[in-house]
């Protein structure tokens, strides 16, 4: 028995997340009142999560083209040409809202969703990266979230069989009620074998493949498009439940089916499930689709058309096959013991027609569903911003003991080793991982070629909070710099833009500024944005997160043997600092650790210098001149040096002298863009100097590796002089001590 359908009213529409204006728009588009099922379709597809209604006008500003771009935004994932006939397919997505409600399954299905986005393109996933943000790990509730999220990622990624090779974990109180779980996946496919989410060819059969449909995740997309109040846990039924084993079977079956040549197009049933696929696929192809819902494989009884269309059950795909080749598709999925059921066909019209036991339950132009409303709401800089920026570093008392200050920074959870999380992730399956997690970027070889990919994610909410435009540009620069420090040239960007409610003018201003910053940096560094995701409404009880754009960069190494990692390799190597001297304590980790304060101005960013520094680092690595390269970021040069000392196979000390200029804590811990630390074997020093001279960048020798201490001098004073064992201990235990 099914309950009678609710009567369609504007109140019902409001309850499903649609505004009165949007409801009117639906009526005028259809020329009539929508049915209950149709209203469900619109509420899901016009949700912020699916329709990008507040962000789309801004996202158009991002550079999306480039010689290497094989697929830009608008598909399941972006793709770039990496040479030798191969393409890297990659994308980052958020699963913030579900992960707060149910951290284990929320994070797990975030991994599942991004994996499907990659293999629907025909690519085999080779790497996952997770960018996570939490509240203070001192808080038991936050620790529960961290354990759940890391456990969920570990469970899904490990069982599926894709290595987790990178990402970052950072902390700020603003994330306590809204953790961020951004997951990036990279896959490989032959450049001429990329599949797309299209429903071409009227008459072609439409197959439902994969897991059966249940009631989990109904209105997940709508849930992800609202802020939380104190009752977030009550929304737990909107979180999907993952099955990584079925996902693994789905991967193998999809790739095998694609090999047959019988697949015309394919799309992941992610947010808004069947509703999304059955409207977006024909919308891309200028076709229509007929779907007979009673054919959909189910694992629960008495499901209504509404539920079948909006369920976000995991591990499912919609596949359009070539007519006459249905048997080939069926036989591959039968081999992998998965459902492959013909549920409809592509039509020549422009409508999605959904029937259930012969009754038409929805008939809607696909364009109306796929093209949601677009808004450009009012925006304004936050009233408090000028005051925050006006913070004067002179008000900060100089530290009395720089050894202690450095140890405190190394033990700060944001900087300390994340081994506790990474050892729970398989990092090597696929035997491609040349550089494991823990260096600036992970490096994965491309078997059968000399090439490798370098991948990194970055994003600093504090920087963006204080200066959205520059902070976001700096995030692009840092992620690209990390890739350059591994020896790869940055080839493509995916971004995940995490913000509060766009209906608040100051949040939308942060968003617009950040998008402009990303666009400027990507243009200057010549890296196209090929895909990504916007996550708004990251607010709980009125508290928005720090504005946090996360940038994922994929880079290419033409010679996998010419790579660099961040740690010092031997004693007696000369240490150089490349890049400008400008740093700031504004928004720094040091200021946070000392005063729990987010204030001040960011260091200047010169994108031309940034570009040249990265090029210089890559040239030096490519010429085999450097034995280590490490980006100076959180915690400044002192932390970068300490990390280079203790993160290698054996600890190697160093003694450096910093040129005089400004206050000592700023010189040690101030943060600024475009700065890279490198180590050079003495025999290569002359050649290195010549290369740097050609590069036209500021740089200088600052010291030499060796010994079992880190010694940092300013003029004649050794202001830091620490045993590496103490540094190592602080760094290894800083995060882990909270989690053990």
Instruction: Please select the residue that binds other proteins; options are 161, 202, 349, 382, rule is CB under 8 A.
Output: 161
Residues 127-156 that bind other proteins (CB under 8 A): 151, 154-155
CA dist 335 to 98, 249, 256, Å? 33, 10, 10
Instruction: Compute how many other C-beta atoms are within 10 angstroms of the C-beta atom of residue 693.
Output: 10
CB of 498 to other proteins, least distance (A): 27
Within 11-108, strands assigned E span 69-71, 78-83, 86-94
d(CA 235, CA 239): 8
CB of 738 to other proteins, least distance (A): 15
Asked if residue 572 lies in contact with residue 679, where contact means CB atoms within 8 angstroms, the answer is no
SS3 for 237?
A: helix
CB of 326 to other proteins, least distance (A): 23
Q: Could you give the dihedral angle defined by the CA atoms of residues 238, 242, 246 and 251, in that order, rounded to the nearest 10 degrees?
A: 90
Q: Which one of the spans 63-71, 374-382, 417-425, 534-542 is the region binding other proteins (CB under 8 A)? A: 417-425
Residues 324-343 that bind other proteins (CB under 8 A): 336-337
CB of 337 to other proteins, least distance (A): 7
SS3 for 289?
A: strand
Q: Encode burial over 78-94: b for 16+ CB neighbours within 10 A, e otherwise.
A: bbbbbeeebbbbbbbbb
Position 647 contacts other proteins (CB under 8 A): no
Minimum CB distance to other proteins smaller for 171 or for 422: 422
Minimum CB distance to other proteins smaller for 157 or for 288: 157
Minimum CB distance to other proteins smaller for 154 or for 182: 154
SS3 for 453?
A: strand
536: left (phi over 0), alpha (psi -120 to 50) or beta: beta
Asked if residue 115 lies in contact with residue 247, where contact means CB atoms within 8 angstroms, the answer is yes
Residues 6+ apart with CB under 8 A from 294: 355, 356, 357
CB of 362 to other proteins, least distance (A): 35
Catalytic residues, by residue number, are 49, 95
CB of 35 to other proteins, least distance (A): 39
Within 616-708, strands assigned E span 626-631, 654-658, 676-680, 699-705
SS3 for 215?
A: coil
Task: List the one residue out of 572, 581, 565, 584 whose CA is nearest residue 678.
Answer: 565
CA 693 to chain CA centroid, nearest Å: 36
Q: Which one of the spans 416-424, 462-470, 564-572, 573-581 is the region binding other proteins (CB under 8 A)? A: 416-424
Task: List the one residue out of 560, 561, 600 whose CA is nearest residue 584.
Answer: 600
CB of 100 to other proteins, least distance (A): 22
Helical spans, DSSP H, in 138-243: 140-160, 220-223
d(CA 484, CA 674): 11
Name the DSSP class of 232: G
CB of 619 to other proteins, least distance (A): 23
Minimum CB distance to other proteins smaller for 90 or for 422: 422
Position 159 contacts other proteins (CB under 8 A): yes
**Per-residue interface string for the shown chain with other proteins, residues 675-704, x marking contact by CB under 8 A:** ------------------------------
Rg value, the chain, Cα:
26
SS3 for 360?
A: strand
Q: Which one of the spans 12-20, 157-165, 269-277, 474-482 is the region binding other proteins (CB under 8 A)? A: 157-165
Instruction: Please select the residue that binds other proteins; options are 464, 560, 645, 654, rule is CB under 8 A.
Output: 560
**Residue bearing tokens 């970052």:** 168
Minimum CB distance to other proteins smaller for 306 or for 422: 422
Minimum CB distance to other proteins smaller for 255 or for 615: 255
Residues 6+ apart with CB under 8 A from 110: 93, 94, 95, 98, 99, 152, 153, 181, 183
CB of 332 to other proteins, least distance (A): 13
Position 15 contacts other proteins (CB under 8 A): no
**Per-residue interface string for the shown chain with other proteins, residues 421-440, x marking contact by CB under 8 A:** -xxxxxxxxxx-xx------
Residue 450: strand pairing partners: none
d(CA 12, CA 588): 47
d(CA 128, CA 92): 9
Phi, psi of 521 (to 5 degrees): -65, -40
Q: Encode burial over 278-310: b for 16+ CB neighbours within 10 A, e otherwise.
A: bbbbbbbbebbbbbbbeebbbeeeebbbbbbbb
Minimum CB distance to other proteins smaller for 184 or for 434: 434
- DSSP string spanning 158-185? HHHT--EEEEEEEE-GGGTTS-EEEEEE
Residues 208-267 that bind other proteins (CB under 8 A): 243-246, 248-249
Minimum CB distance to other proteins smaller for 100 or for 336: 336
CB of 429 to other proteins, least distance (A): 5
CB of 452 to other proteins, least distance (A): 9
- Using CB under 8 A as the binding criterion, the count of chain residues that bind other proteins stands at 31
CB of 478 to other proteins, least distance (A): 27
Q: Which one of the spans 47-55, 112-120, 206-214, 419-427 is the region binding other proteins (CB under 8 A)? A: 419-427
Task: Name the strand (E) or helix (H) holding 498.
Answer: strand 489-498
CB of 259 to other proteins, least distance (A): 15
Minimum CB distance to other proteins smaller for 126 or for 274: 126
560: left (phi over 0), alpha (psi -120 to 50) or beta: alpha
SS3 for 320?
A: strand
**Residue bearing tokens 């976000």:** 312
Binding residues (CB under 8 A) for other proteins: these are 151, 154-155, 158-161, 243-246, 248-249, 336-337, 422-431, 433-434, 445, 447, 560-561
């Amino acid at each position: 028995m099914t309950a009678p359908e609710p009567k369609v009213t504007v109140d019902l529409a409001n309850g499903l997340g649609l505004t009165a204006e949007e409801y009117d728009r639906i009526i005028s588009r259809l020329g009539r009142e929508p049915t209950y099922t149709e209203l469900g379709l619109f509420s899901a597809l016009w949700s912020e999560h699916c329709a990008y209604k507040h962000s789309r006008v801004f996202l158009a500003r991002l550079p999306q083209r480039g010689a290497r771009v094989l697929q830009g935004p608008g598909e399941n994932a972006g793709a770039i040409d990496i040479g030798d006939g191969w393409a890297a397919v990659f994308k980052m997505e958020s699963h913030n809202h579900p992960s707060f409600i149910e951290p284990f399954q929320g994070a797990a299905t975030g991994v599942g969703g991004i994996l499907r986005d990659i293999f629907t393109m025909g690519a085999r996933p080779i790497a996952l990266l997770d960018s996570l943000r939490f509240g203070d790990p001192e808080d038991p509730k936050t620790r529960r979230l961290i354990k759940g999220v890391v456990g969920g990622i570990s469970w899904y990624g490990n069982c599926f069989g894709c290595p987790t090779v990178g990402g970052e974990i950072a902390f700020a109180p603003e994330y306590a009620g809204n953790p961020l779980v951004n997951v990036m996946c990279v896959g490989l496919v032959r450049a001429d074998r990329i599949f797309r989410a299209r429903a071409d060819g009227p008459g072609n059969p439409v197959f439902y493949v994969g897991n059966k449909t249940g009631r989990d995740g109904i209105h997940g997309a709508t849930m992800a498009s609202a802020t939380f109040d104190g009752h977030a846990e009550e929304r737990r039924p909107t979180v999907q439940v993952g099955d990584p084993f079925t996902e693994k079977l789905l991967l193998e079956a999809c790739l095998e089916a694609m090999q047959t040549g019988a697949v015309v197009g394919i799309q992941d049933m992610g947010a808004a499930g069947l509703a999304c696929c059955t409207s977006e696929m024909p919308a891309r192809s200028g076709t229509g689709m007929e779907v007979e819902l009673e054919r959909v494989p189910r694992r629960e009884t008495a499901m209504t058309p509404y539920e079948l269309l909006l369920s976000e059950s995991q591990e499912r795909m919609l596949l359009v096959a070539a007519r006459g080749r249905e048997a080939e598709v069926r036989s591959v999925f039968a081999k992998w013991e998965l459902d492959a059921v013909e549920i409809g066909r592509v039509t020549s019209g422009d409508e999605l027609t959904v029937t259930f036991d012969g009754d038409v339950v929805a008939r809607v132009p696909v364009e109306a569903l796929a093209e949601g409303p677009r808004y450009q709401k009012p925006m304004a800089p936050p009233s408090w911003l000028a005051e925050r920026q006006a913070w004067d570093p002179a008000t900060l008392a100089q530290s009395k003991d720089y050894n202690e200050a450095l140890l405190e920074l190394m033990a700060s959870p944001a900087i300390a080793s994340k081994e506790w999380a990474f050892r729970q992730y398989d990092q090597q399956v696929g035997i491609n991982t040349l550089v494991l997690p823990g260096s600036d970027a992970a490096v994965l070889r491309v078997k059968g070629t000399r090439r490798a990919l370098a991948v990194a994610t970055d994003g600093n909410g504090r920087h963006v909070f204080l200066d959205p435009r520059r902070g976001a540009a700096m995030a692009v620069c840092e992620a690209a710099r990390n890739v350059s420090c591994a020896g790869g040239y940055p080839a493509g960007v995916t971004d995940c833009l995490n913000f509060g409610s766009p209906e608040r003018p100051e949040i939308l201003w942060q968003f617009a500024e950040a998008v402009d910053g990303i666009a400027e940096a990507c243009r200057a560094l010549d890296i196209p944005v090929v895909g990504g995701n916007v996550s708004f409404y990251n607010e709980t009880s009125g508290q928005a997160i720090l504005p946090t754009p996360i940038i994922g960069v994929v880079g290419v190494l033409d010679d996998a043997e010419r790579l660099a990692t961040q740690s010092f390799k031997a004693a007696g190597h000369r240490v150089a600092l490349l890049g400008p001297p400008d740093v700031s304590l504004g928004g720094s980790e040091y200021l946070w650790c000392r005063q729990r304060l987010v204030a001040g101005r960011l260091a200047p960013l010169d994108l031309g210098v940034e570009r040249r520094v990265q090029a210089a680092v890559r040239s030096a690595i490519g010429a085999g001149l450097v034995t280590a390269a490490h980006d100076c970021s959180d915690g400044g040069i002192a932390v970068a040096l300490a990390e280079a000392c203790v993160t290698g196979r054996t600890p190697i000390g160093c003694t450096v002298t910093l040129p005089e200029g400004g206050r000592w804590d700023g010189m040690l811990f101030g943060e600024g863009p475009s700065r890279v630390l490198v180590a050079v074997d003495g025999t290569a020093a002359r050649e290195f100097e010549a290369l740097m001279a050609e590069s036209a960048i500021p740089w200088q020798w600052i010291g030499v590796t060796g010994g079992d201490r880190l010694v940092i001098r300013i003029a004649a004073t050794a202001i830091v002089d620490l045993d590496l064992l103490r540094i190592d201990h602080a760094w290894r235990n800083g995060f882990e001590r909270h989690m053990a």
